Amino acid sequence: MTEFIAKPGVKNLKHEGEKLITTHCSYCGMQCGMHIRVSEKTGKIKGVEPRYDWPVTLGKLCPKGVTAYQQIDHPDRIKRPLIKKKGRFVESSWEEALSLIEKKFTELQDKHGKDSLSVFGGVSMTNEKCYLVGKYARVALGTRFLDYNGRFCMSSAAGGFMKTFGMDRGSTLPWTELEHSDCFLIAGSNTAECHPTSIQMFWKARDKGAKMIVVDPRETPTARIADVHLDLLPGTDSALANGLLHLLIKEDFVDKEYVENRCNNFEELKASVEPFTPEYTSQLTGVDKNKIIKAARIYGSSPRSVVMFARGVEQQSKGVDNVTLYTSLALLRGQIGKFASGVATFTGQGNGQGGREHGQKSDLLPGYRKITDPEAVKYISGVWGIDPEEMPKAGVSAFEMFDEIHKGTIRAMHVVCSNPAVSAPDAEYVWEAFKKLDFLVVNDFFLSETAEFADVVLPTTTWAEDEGTTTNLEGRVIRIRKSIEPLHESKTDWQIFKEIAARLGKGKHFDYSSPREIFEEFRLATKGGKADYSGITYERIDKEDGVFWPCPSEDHPGTPTVFKETFATPNGKANLPAVSWQEPDETPSEEFPIRLTTGRVVFHYLSGNQTRRIDFLMEQCPVPFAEMHPELASRYNMQDGEKIRVTTPRSTMELEVRLTKATRNDIIFVPYHWGKELAVNKLTNAALDPTSRMPEFKVCAARIEKLEQKAGH
Amino acid sequence: MNKIMYLEFERCIGCRACQAACRECGDHDAKERNYVEHVDFMESRQTFPMMCMQCKDPACARVCPANAIQITEEGVVLSASEEKCIGCRNCTFGCPFGIPKFDFEQNKMYKCDMCYDRSKHDIAPMCASVCPSDAIRFIDFDEMQSLRRRRTQMNLVEGKKPTEQDKWKYVPEFFGVYSD
């Protein structure tokens, strides 16, 4: 198997005594191509080399990507299994750790039933592993309580796309086409910080004259150069999108033929957006009405446009509504299924796309099959070699699992590839839940805040110590290569599942010796499903620069652009929504007069468990801060750099003030990548979207106070 | 080497990948030699990258009493040679762009060498390789010239004409500057 792939004529620097392993970054959904430098003699990781010929990212990396390799041989790696004894972690053997897990799991299930166990998955890992998480929970443990951290990340986009298109692929077009587009409408995405390597595409299109409309309460680097910056109040996306739809219809920008032939519900939509005049929209969103009109005209008159959004619109109690409304902008303009136009979400996690399709969600089975569909249960049971009767029923969403712990239904949890102690909203409630568990197992390679609550921590490998596939934010299935053998005593997640399954008497269902064997079974499991990977092979991925799903057979070319002729709904037409205005779950009050919104910085990834250990990244951004407009600060007599107290109905914390005029003057922004006393998720609201069960991270009501000066300081 | 480093400040998104990448270059001792700064964070999020201009007749080298700063045959102004640098910091004061850095612990200067181990083979330096916004590019001399011509042309296409008083406006900006 070739480890190094480069196209003819591409020059890379190969240091003497080193080899290059071609792979992708461990972090976000861009999955930037990179080569990892490995010493031929010692097998040690030496660094990173740009992969200039990866067509999506062309060698570009963000600072997280450049330093990603530093996680691998990091001094903080967990070297051996840890068992908590008398409140302290003690290194132990795998035998001891696994025996304890076997004993506890069996005891709890004997006493409290199968569903007393639960699995909390994640999607920053390969398709092979994500697929196995679902199988592990349902076959090895036999529990219905299974869900994953995509509920905090992607589930509103998924829900919105399912509702509108009947299929959830994060992008309807390949991103290599973006530079040919004429207009981008980007909502709730701090693209420059969260998906930096996509900027090259926008800037290239910009060079050719493409227009840009950015919807964000803060003047992000993309908003700063936008033709129109719609600086809305956090939590008012549905009003803004309705206002834009109103104008598209009123000013006759609708592609009538497309809507007639390819959309359901147009009349209902038309009626529901009727009240959203520019004046009314402006009143709800706090955006100047002239800017709304200008945006609608630019978007409406662009021949090729792409609507894009991210967590800003999705992490709300109306996340699914927001997604369906923004998506409808593209539908009314007849943009979906065409060249250099369409709709896309910026997938947050590395394998946020692939990981959500294959049965880590409480109600899904591999291939995006519904667990409530008896045919799907029958098919997957066949692939797994179990009786369909044995298949557990649908469980509950990620955050609701913590409710189940508080209720005493869930007694034990196995957390894989996730750090909900930082990433879940209303964090103190989540911490209490972890304390309440009889038994907590965490797989991780660094001791995360969640792992600190654990009874057993199992050391896993980093992404570079195992092979497999991921699906990037375009829907392109790509290959992750193994750069080195697992370090210390760490094992891959799939080996851990295999060994626990064997101890629970389910070994025959997990008889794998390599990720490739899992992939072969996984292909079969997806066959015939909506997310069909059955025609994709490791060899094709190498040969074709990745393969886009759906790809139902080996002679099928894959599907870079989806919905060219028809949508995946029962009648083949897209469903337009009709959504009325609804306030966010929590609005400012006398006691909590300001809107608090949370987000990311370019130097950290998700809960920060990885990036907070990388020197360069920590030097740039060591602690969270409260970003606000000097006008707001002045009202409270606060200065730049001063410590303040931020309080919401749930909790309180101290933060340093960072002032800039590049934001609305009535909100504060805090990045969320830290744990414990630095966790802004102590303050966030756990109100869930009714469909996607995504919490409302993006808006809650807060109060800020100046801290008293201490004498002598 | 017929390549040049080309900066377009206004493309910068402030991610500092160039600085992280600078540390990755084999000869850089894990210390970055380039800069990314906010123009004024209170006013806007605009940042810009700054790095060695690789001057033809570099002030840093001229003011070095120890002759520690060498210039390669391709014209790359190297970092101070370890053996020769006496730590006088003349170069840091002499450079009109504020580029050379000073390591007070080791008492020596260090600066951008355009990743000479890469650029001597016509492979882009690390900063230009990774820059996600193409604010830093390593391109052919001809491509640079055509980019500069294009900036002027775009202004003319938009119906603006230079006058003696503002002709300088017509040279630098293409990206990010549109019709009035």
**By CA distance, what is A631's nearest residue in B?**
B42
B15, B121, B176: residue with CB nearest A11: B121
Q: How far is A203 from chain B (nearest CA, A)?
A: 7
A47's enclosing H/E stretch is strand A45-50
Tell me which architecture the domain covering A594-706 has in CATH. Answer: Beta Barrel (2.40)
**pLDDT tens digit sequence for A210-235:** 999 999 999 999 999 999 999 999 99
Q: Angle at CA B79, nearest 5°, toward B76 and B81?
A: 120
Residues facing B3 on adjacent strands? B140
**By CA distance, what is B132's nearest residue in A?**
A197
pLDDT of residue A228: 96
CB contact A61 to B (< 8 Å): yes
- pLDDT class of B172 with cuts at 50, 70, 90: very low
CB contact B122 to A (< 8 Å): yes
pLDDT of residue B27: 79
- pLDDT class of B10 with cuts at 50, 70, 90: confident
Q: How far apart, in whole angstroms, are the C-alpha atoms of residue A238 and residue B64?
A: 63
Residues of A in contact with B22 (CB under 8 A): none
pLDDT of residue B113: 94
Share of chain A residues as helix, strand and coil, in percent rounded to the nearest 5: 35, 20, 45
B143's enclosing H/E stretch is helix B141-157
Instruction: Answer yes or no: do A662 and B123 touch at CB < 8 A.
Output: no
Give the number of C-alpha atoms closer than 13 A to the C-alpha of residue A242, restricted to the C-beta side. 29
Q: Is B169 helix (H, G, I), strand (E, B) or coil?
A: helix
Q: Which pair of tokens denotes residue A73?
A: 């041989």
CB contact A602 to B (< 8 Å): yes
Mean pLDDT of chain A: 97
Q: Which pair of tokens denotes residue A490?
A: 């760490």
- pLDDT class of B39 with cuts at 50, 70, 90: very high
Q: How far apart, in whole angstroms, are the C-alpha atoms of residue A20 and residue A549?
A: 28
Q: How far is A205 from chain B (nearest CA, A)?
A: 11
Q: Angle at CA A85, nearest 5°, toward A82 and A88?
A: 75
**pLDDT tens digit sequence for A252-300:** 999 999 999 999 999 999 999 999 999 999 999 999 999 999 999 999 9
Asked if A497 and A136 count as a contact pair (C-beta separation under 8 A), the reply is yes
Q: Which pair of tokens denotes residue A333?
A: 């303009």
Q: How far apart, in whole angstroms, are the C-alpha atoms of residue A514 and residue A516?
A: 5
CB contact A584 to B (< 8 Å): no
Residues of A in contact with B129 (CB under 8 A): 50, 52, 59-60
Q: Is the pLDDT of residue B156 over 70?
A: no
Q: Is the pLDDT of residue A614 over 80?
A: yes
The domain made up of B52-111 is a member of CATH 3.40.50.1980: no
Mean pLDDT of chain B: 87
Q: Is the pLDDT of residue A70 over 80?
A: yes
Instruction: Answer yes or no: do A221 and B26 touch at CB < 8 A.
Output: no
Q: How far apart, in whole angstroms, are the C-alpha atoms of residue A153 and residue A310?
A: 9
The H-assigned helical ranges of A536-648 are 538-544, 615-620, 630-635
pLDDT of residue A708: 77
pLDDT of residue B180: 36
SS (H, E, C) A172-192: CCCHHHHHHCCEEEEECCCHH
Asked if B14 and B36 count as a contact pair (C-beta separation under 8 A), the reply is yes
Fill in the amino acid letter for A243. Answer: G
Q: How far apart, in whole angstroms, are the C-alpha atoms of residue A604 and residue A190?
A: 13
Q: Tell me the domain boundaries of chain A.
A: 18-71, 82-153+351-466+480-510, 156-345, 594-706
CATH number of A156-345: 3.40.228.10
**By CA distance, what is B151's nearest residue in A?**
A207
Looking at A587-651, which runs of residues are DSSP E strands? 594-599, 625-628, 643-647
CB contact B44 to A (< 8 Å): yes
B20, B132, B176: residue with CB nearest A199: B132
The burial class, CB within 10 Å (0-12 / 13-18 / 19+), for A186 is: buried
Q: How far is B46 from chain A (nearest CA, A)?
A: 7
**pLDDT tens digit sequence for A132-163:** 999 999 999 999 999 999 999 999 999 999 99
Going by C-alpha positions, the residue among B75, B153, B155 that lies closest to residue B116 is: B75
Q: How far apart, in whole angstroms, are the C-alpha atoms of residue B180 and residue B171?
A: 17
Q: Angle at CA B8, nearest 5°, toward B6 and B13?
A: 125
Q: Which pair of tokens denotes residue A699?
A: 């808006």
Q: Tell me the domain boundaries of chain B.
A: 52-111
Q: What is the mean pLDDT of residues A632-657?
A: 97
Q: Which pair of tokens denotes residue A26?
A: 């461990």
**By CA distance, what is B21's nearest residue in A?**
A66
**By CA distance, what is A602's nearest residue in B?**
B15
Q: Is the pLDDT of residue B176 over 50?
A: no
Give the number of C-alpha atoms closer than 13 A to the C-alpha of residue A309, restricted to the C-beta side. 33
Q: Is the pLDDT of residue B175 over 50?
A: no
Helices (H) and strands (E) in chain A, counts: 24, 28
Instruction: Answer yes or no: do B15 and A659 touch at CB < 8 A.
Output: no
Phi, psi (deg, nearest 5) at residue A254: -80, 135
Instruction: Answer yes or no: do A66 and B132 touch at CB < 8 A.
Output: no
B43, B126, B175: residue with CB nearest A207: B175
Phi, psi (deg, nearest 5) at residue A422: -105, -40
A47, A196, A219: residue with CB nearest B132: A196
CB contact B72 to A (< 8 Å): no
- Beta A439-444 vs A45-50: how paired, if at all? unpaired
The burial class, CB within 10 Å (0-12 / 13-18 / 19+), for A589 is: exposed
Instruction: Answer yes or no: do A63 and B23 touch at CB < 8 A.
Output: no
Q: Which pair of tokens denotes residue A497?
A: 């599942």
Q: How far is A337 from chain B (nearest CA, A)?
A: 28
Q: How far is B3 from chain A (nearest CA, A)?
A: 14
Residues of B in contact with A639 (CB under 8 A): none
**By CA distance, what is B128's nearest residue in A?**
A60
Residues facing A147 on adjacent strands? A120
- Beta A456-459 vs A439-444: how paired, if at all? parallel
CATH number of A18-71: 3.30.200.210
SS (H, E, C) A669-705: EEECCCCHHHCHHHCCCCCECCCCCCECCCCEEEEEE
Q: How far apart, in whole angstroms, are the C-alpha atoms of residue A143 and residue A122?
A: 17
Q: How far apart, in whole angstroms, are the C-alpha atoms of residue A398 and residue A360?
A: 11
Fill in the amino acid letter for A224. Answer: R
What is the residue whose two structure tokens read 């008293």?
Answer: A708
Instruction: Answer yes or no: do A13 and B131 touch at CB < 8 A.
Output: no
Fill in the amino acid letter for A596. Answer: L
Instruction: Answer yes or no: do B24 and A66 touch at CB < 8 A.
Output: yes
- pLDDT class of B145 with cuts at 50, 70, 90: confident
Q: How far is B144 from chain A (nearest CA, A)?
A: 15
pLDDT of residue B144: 85
Going by C-alpha positions, the residue among A328, A312, A164 that lies closest to residue A243 is: A328
Q: How far is B51 from chain A (nearest CA, A)?
A: 17
Which of B3, B8, B15, B41 should be substituted to probe chain A, the one whose Cβ sees the most A Cβ atoms within 10 Å?
Answer: B15
* B:148-177 residues touching chain A, CB 8 A cutoff: 174-176
The CATH fold of domain A82-153+351-466+480-510:
Rossmann fold (3.40.50)
pLDDT of residue B1: 64
Phi, psi (deg, nearest 5) at residue A438: -75, -30
CB contact A603 to B (< 8 Å): yes
CB contact B38 to A (< 8 Å): no
CB contact A190 to B (< 8 Å): no
Residues of B in contact with A616 (CB under 8 A): 19-20, 23
Q: What is the mean pLDDT of residues A319-327?
A: 98
CB contact A631 to B (< 8 Å): no
pLDDT of residue A2: 75
Alpha carbon separation from A604 to A97, A102, A636 (Å, rounded): 32, 36, 30
**pLDDT tens digit sequence for A416-435:** 999 999 999 999 999 999 99
**pLDDT tens digit sequence for A454-499:** 999 999 999 999 999 999 999 999 999 999 999 999 999 999 999 9
